Amino acid sequence: ICRLASFLRCKCCILLSRLNRPLTLSEKIVYGHLDDPHRQEIERGRTYLRLRPDRVAMQDATAQMAMLQFISSGLPKVAVPSTIHCDHLIEAQTGGVQDLAKAKEVNCEVYDFLSSAGAKYGVGFWKPGSGIIHQIILENYAYPGVMLIGTDSHTPNGGGLGSICIGVGGADAVDVMAGIAWELKCPKVIGVKLTGALSGWTSPKDVILKVAGILTVKGGTGAIVEYHGPGVDSISCTGMATICNMGAEIGATTSVFPYNHRMKTYLEKTGREQIAAQADEFSHLLVPDDGCEYDQLIELNLDELKPHINGPFTPDLAHPVSEIGAVAEKNGWPLEVKVGLIGSCTNSSYEDMGRAASVAKQALDKGLTCKAQFTVTPGSEQIRATIERDGYSKILGDVGGVVLANACGPCIGQWDRQDVKKGEKNTIVTSFNRNFTARNDANPATHAFVTSPEIVTAMAIAGTLNFNPETDYLTAANGEKFQLDAPYGDELPAKDFDPGQDTYQHPPPDGSSLRVHVSPESDRLQLLEPFDKWSGGDLEDLKVLIKVKGKCTTDHISAAGPWLKFRGHLDNISNNMLIGAVNSENDGINKLKNYLTGEYGGVPDVARHYKANGVSWVVVGDDNYGEGSSREHAALEPRHLGGRAIIVKSFARIHETNLKKQGVLPLTFSDPSDYDRIRPDDHISIRGLKTFAPGKPLTAAVKHSDGSEETVKLNHSFNQTQIEWFQAGSALNRMKALQ
């Protein structure tokens, strides 16, 4: 951190003299990692920054494709410290020990590939059972002032330790691992000023649930959310991480908190006393300057903030817990809570588990257990071992909880749920971050709500959404009415953390002689072939594959759950392309007309048929297309199956970049109402590519089946470097051409 602080101080001095204004904290860290601070053009929301992140982290589902791309680059070793984390491929079925053992057996080929690739190319490997990537980063790699990119959308979790941690696609990670400057559109900065203090049933999760209700799922797009103000000191370091983590659900580039004593305590407790001391020494660099300006300012009084619960089907539909019962009744949402689930990368800290256990203990003391099913997901092996040692696991188990593996599990759809049939309307309550349709259990009729772990625990005990623990009563085993006291949990363990089992594999000093094997017969892994280059002309007579209606997240474009096993095999994973999207023609899911045959089929099947017959195609979509996960498969699959452009009202940041990286044109209607002019049976020609330039719109010549034609103006956000990716066929092709 001394080296980093010196680095930041030098660059910040350059920038202060250039910009001649006070800097926000996020500007200090982001601009402090500029490749060329002397000449870099800086304008929030307009220019592209060339940055030099300090680290890369990859979870196992996205690491497969990232490492396959790195192997294709021909480079011998990564240029920056990088790690792989095995957390996505473990399915929740019966319990942590059994589920982990089965995952190791089922995913042996993938784990061996990631382990050997990590050893050969200099990448650290956290074995299955280690924990969720973001918790591991917080415990080991995040620290004030660092810039880290991760191939998962919830990488911003590290902002709870004053880091700038940004979720990206695998191709972006490859750039950084290759030692190439990484591009990011200069973020705007949204300030959230916190006053007052958290108390009672109100938790850090309620801060971001409230902010999500204010900003919506796209209100943070293109911006960093920077929390500040006196209220910050009432939030633990892991609580700040919770807030930053779920900032992904408002589309934010990342979120960050200023350095304070809560971070110092966490650093010391996780064995990083020297970093804490150095952060104290350079603390003036790790907070915003007085008088700095934000593009938007939100003020929250934590004294007045009430417990919240958001959902169903979208994480920005915010309700006070005190009102959710009435709202659910009015809307016909099931009141009975079938399952309560705590944990995930958002809420699995020692403090979270302690507060949930304090609620569970009160119920047990009154002779009660959970009416709903109840699951507990520790965030890391260190958390699992420590809460087991300190008795929290026993309390949560005694109240009815099943402790799952240290992994993502149900939060990402890795859940072999058996208590309801697909299509059966039901309610679950989770402490997760995301609750899109069918995300957790592949059941589109499941109404998923996100809230704090302590509210989840209380509702699992009560068995209903219509329960406000601040005012409502439970009935003890002896018939006595009682209220739950406000939860309490120690911020950090009184003793040191118990590290549990050692699950980390450090790469050898020289892995050049090691071999990474990918079988040609494998259905899990597939070496990549380069995409074709741009032809040099306009894209003529593209078929509209599907006109998507309404919300289309990366879960809709490339589903997770059972499809995770194919994340290293592009052709096989492409069989899930857009199978969750709603077709505007018939409101059907995975049902569209093949205009070559006249028959109806699944989206991937029709796309494959078009490709086999030399027909290229486009997708037409709605607002905030591609929100959610960072998974670049949602960009790779359309490219692999013959897609050339995605034309929508607006994009989510990561998905737009992922499309550019793979040589697909992400374009937006200059007039959003032009979406309504496109018909499902149209052909579209994209004109102006011979003079493709930054800031210069393209044109779509739209040919309708009745013979009529019209022209639509299309905007784009390509800079010159990104245009070169398109012309080369992909960013990876361009990288190899420059070697």
Cβ atoms of residues 572 and 564 within 8 Å? no
CA dist., res. 446 & res. 434, Å (int): 13
What SS3 string covers 22-34?
CCCHHHHHHHCCE
Matching residue, tokens 């070559």: 596
Q: Place 661 in a pLDDT band, splitting at 50, 70 and 90.
A: very high
pLDDT digits over 230-276, tens only? 999 999 999 999 999 999 999 999 999 999 999 999 999 999 999 99
Q: Place 3 in a pLDDT band, splitting at 50, 70 and 90.
A: low
Element (H, E) at 373: strand 373-377
| DSSP SS3 for 170 | helix
pLDDT digits over 378-404, tens only? 999 999 999 999 999 999 999 999 999
Say yes or no to pLDDT of 17 above 90: no
Q: Can you give the C-alpha Rg of the chain in angstroms?
A: 25
Instruction: List Cα–Cα distances, 719 to 558, 625, 688, in angstroms.
Output: 27, 20, 15
Q: What is the pLDDT of residue 517?
A: 85
Q: Say which of 55, 72, 85, 87 is annotated catalytic.
A: 87
Catalytic annotation present for 631: yes
pLDDT digits over 530-579, tens only? 999 999 999 999 999 999 999 999 999 999 888 999 999 999 999 999 99
Give me 606's structure tokens.
């029709």
Q: Say which of 85, 88, 447, 633 is annotated catalytic.
A: 88
Average pLDDT over residues 105-133: 97
Question: Is the pTM value of this prediction over 0.85?
Answer: yes
Say yes or no to pLDDT of 618 above 90: yes
Q: Say which of 60, 152, 175, 622 is annotated catalytic.
A: 152
Element (H, E) at 377: strand 373-377
Catalytic annotation present for 687: no
Catalytic annotation present for 87: yes
CATH of domain 315-469: 3.30.499.10
Q: Say which of 272, 434, 644, 653 is annotated catalytic.
A: 434
Catalytic annotation present for 434: yes
- Mark out the alpha helices in 390-477 (DSSP H runs): 392-398, 453-462
Instruction: List Cα–Cα distances, 700 to 159, 344, 549, 667, in angstroms.
Output: 41, 44, 20, 10
Which part of the chain has CATH 3.20.19.10? Answer: 539-738
Say yes or no to pLDDT of 10 above 90: no
Q: Say which of 631, 644, 653, 683 is annotated catalytic.
A: 631
Catalytic annotation present for 88: yes
Question: Which of these, 55, 139, 93, 62, lies nearest to 348 by C-alpha position?
Answer: 139
CATH of domain 2-301: 3.30.499.10
Which part of the chain has CATH 3.30.499.10? Answer: 2-301, 315-469
Q: Which CATH class is domain 539-738?
A: alpha beta
Q: In what order do the strands lie in the sheet with 147-150?
A: 164-167, 147-150, 55-59, 82-85, 124-126, 504-505
Cβ atoms of residues 120 and 94 within 8 Å? no
